Amino acid sequence: MMLVALIARDKPDSLEIRKANRDAHLAYIEATGVVTQAGPLIVDGGMAGSLVILDVPDLAAAEAWAADDPYAKAGLFGSVELVEWKKVIG
């Protein structure tokens, strides 16, 4: 297993897309069971993206998870980066 940081930046003016798909996104996180930490990125007091830490077998599994995320399917993100991550503290 490996930890992967998913760093996604919302498209401009996409708060309504985020709100409309939030419940489906949270249900997906619960159903898949691979998210260890998650939360929105905040810029100037508003939500601007997501940081999700995945515990998956490999990068391909992280890519598949990211592609099936309801936020991604709804077109919320302007960019998504997947990077192997090593937990040191916490």
Q: Where are the domains of the chain?
A: 2-84
Whole-structure pTM value? 0.93
Question: Residues 15-33: pLDDT tens digits?
Answer: 999 999 999 999 999 999 9
Question: Residues 41-88: pLDDT tens digits?
Answer: 999 999 999 999 999 999 999 999 999 999 999 999 999 999 999 999
Q: Which residues are within 8 A (CB) of 58 and not within 5 positions of it... i.e. 6 or more apart?
A: 2
Among the four given CATH numbers 3.60.20.30, 3.30.70.1400, 3.30.70.1060, 3.10.290.10, the one describing domain 2-84: 3.30.70.1060
Radius of gyration of the chain from its Cα atoms, rounded to whole angstroms: 13
Estimate the share of the chain in helix, then strand, then coil, as percent rounded to the nearest 5: 35, 40, 20
Residue 65 phi, psi dihedral angles, 5° rounding: -60, -45
The residue among 3, 83, 2, 76 whose CA lies nearest residue 41 is 76
- The pLDDT of residue 90 is above 90: no
